[in-house]
Structure 1
């Protein structure tokens, strides 16, 4: 629930637009709280920054008080985050529900950002890659071949989110490679190559280079650091530098 008010969300969006004005090598999307979407959309309209929403309802329509359908978001946002670990934890989102949300977003012409990631005990048991592949497989079930390349996958190890303890770059690289390989199994090599892969989990301007320079990591899903425009700009700049070297 950050920023705390619509006014704060608008101010932050404007600050991000200014701070990232030179970061044109990378695509930048921001995901304010749903109540701020329209105001933020207007605030960034003259910029290259795009808009995302933090979640979406799994049903297209119906009596679901408080729900926001993908159809409602059409024309407002470009991206829809689905499967974030906090939503899985706090709202009980199962793999099946994440799959439904992802498919609703695709059907509405939106671009899902699918979040996947393991708990610490799974990482310690050596099953992280297997676990994440299973999440990818479940989330992309029944997705049409022609739609799969519009999905972005964000690897966010649960134990690294908001803890200040990011994963090691090499660990992130291998797990993201496993996720991409699973996309290839499901949809073929061309789609696996087209799908963008992000790292998320205590990303800062200081830590991002370790991930952005890894082959196969295309960018970052930024949490707390995105609430400070200059810090967010540092992250965007580092990703841009890594992309120009790739």
Structure 2
């Protein structure tokens, strides 16, 4: 059975003190419900907060630590970069790769992301690999061709064993930070297509076991409907993950 996941991407927000207070609120609200449930909660703070936030997550619970990015290099003279091995050493289990903001603002392409995937997997991290189309692409009715190419170029070079460690996040770019959200039917349609592409590239078992998250202005009001779709296994949450009550309501949506 594939894993249900709610991941909170804090992006470049909060101070360490604010972040620790937020984690304390979230864990106090839902720690008992999450422990022993089928839902994993992944908290993805900025790099400087990782160790401190990780130490505050309840041991033995379904709370996990994730990073927002990592280098494609293992080590060396790469000032300002952070390797997968470094992330693993401070307790990170997951890492977000290919977020639309990284692709857009930092010009990360599918080749670079394929190298980052390899590096993250070699360090023992579980990648949350983001894909998704722009409004222009959707309006041109090229969504499926675009996503198929992102999957092929970014992910499908992995072996079966490597691919089994990957979580996919579908994030329609037109719905990130805009307040717009794909309808549950739109999300389900694309998630089902992604699963179909996985089955073709690997096999039906791999497709059925892959967790596919929705990311794109998911919030406390629409999470339950989105998560009720058969191919939507959770969410990669942005702005709502910075509000303890909203984030815990999303977690409870399962």
Structure with more strand by fraction = 2
- Structure 1: segments with no counterpart, 5+ residues: 241-246
Asked if structure 2 preserves the Cα contact closer than 8 Å seen for 1:149 and 1:192, the reply is no
What residue in structure 2 maps to residue 71 of structure 1? 85
Q: What CA RMSD, in Å, does the superposition of the two structures yield over aligned residues?
A: 1.3
What residue in structure 2 maps to residue 88 of structure 1? 103
Deviation at 1:193, TM superposition (A): 1.0
Q: TM-score, normalised by structure 1?
A: 0.93
Find the aligned partners of 2:230 and 2:150 in 1 and give their Cα distance.
22
Residue 156 of structure 1, aligned match among 151, 171, 192: 171
Deviation at 1:45, TM superposition (A): 4.1
Asked if structure 2 preserves the Cα contact closer than 8 Å seen for 1:99 and 1:141, the reply is no
What residue in structure 1 maps to residue 3 of structure 2? none
Find the aligned partners of 1:136 and 1:171 in 2 and give their Cα distance.
19
What residue in structure 2 maps to residue 6 of structure 1? 16
- Greater mean alpha carbon deviation, residues 125-134 or residues 43-52: 43-52
Residue 57 of structure 2, aligned match among 27, 38, 44: 44
What residue in structure 1 maps to residue 121 of structure 2? 106
Find the aligned partners of 1:95 and 1:187 in 2 and give their Cα distance.
19
- Greater mean alpha carbon deviation, residues 38-47 or residues 194-203: 38-47
Partner SS, residue 39 of structure 2: coil
Deviation at 1:18, TM superposition (A): 1.3
Output one character per residue of 1:215-246: Cα deviation in whole Å (capped at 9) or x when no partner: 111000000000011100110111x2xxxxxx
- Greater mean alpha carbon deviation, residues 185-194 or residues 31-40: 185-194
Q: Which has the higher contact order (CA 8 A, sep 6+)?
A: 2
Give 1:84-233 correspondences, 5 Å limit.
84-233=99-248
Deviation at 1:192, TM superposition (A): 1.0
Asked if structure 1 preserves the Cα contact closer than 8 Å seen for 2:199 and 2:206, the reply is yes
Asked if structure 2 preserves the Cα contact closer than 8 Å seen for 1:200 and 1:221, the reply is yes
What residue in structure 2 maps to residue 30 of structure 1? 43
Q: TM-score, normalised by structure 2?
A: 0.90
Task: Say whether 1:56 aligns with 2:70.
Answer: yes
Deviation at 1:60, TM superposition (A): 1.5
Partner SS, residue 95 of structure 2: strand
Deviation at 1:126, TM superposition (A): 1.3
Output one character per residue of 1:141-194: Cα deviation in whole Å (capped at 9) or x when no partner: 431211111100000000000011101111111111111112112211111111
- Structure 2: segments with no counterpart, 5+ residues: 1-10
Asked if structure 1 preserves the Cα contact closer than 8 Å seen for 2:39 and 2:62, the reply is no
What residue in structure 1 maps to residue 8 of structure 2? none
Deviation at 1:48, TM superposition (A): 3.0
Output one character per residue of 1:47-79: Cα deviation in whole Å (capped at 9) or x when no partner: 431000000011122211110011111241110
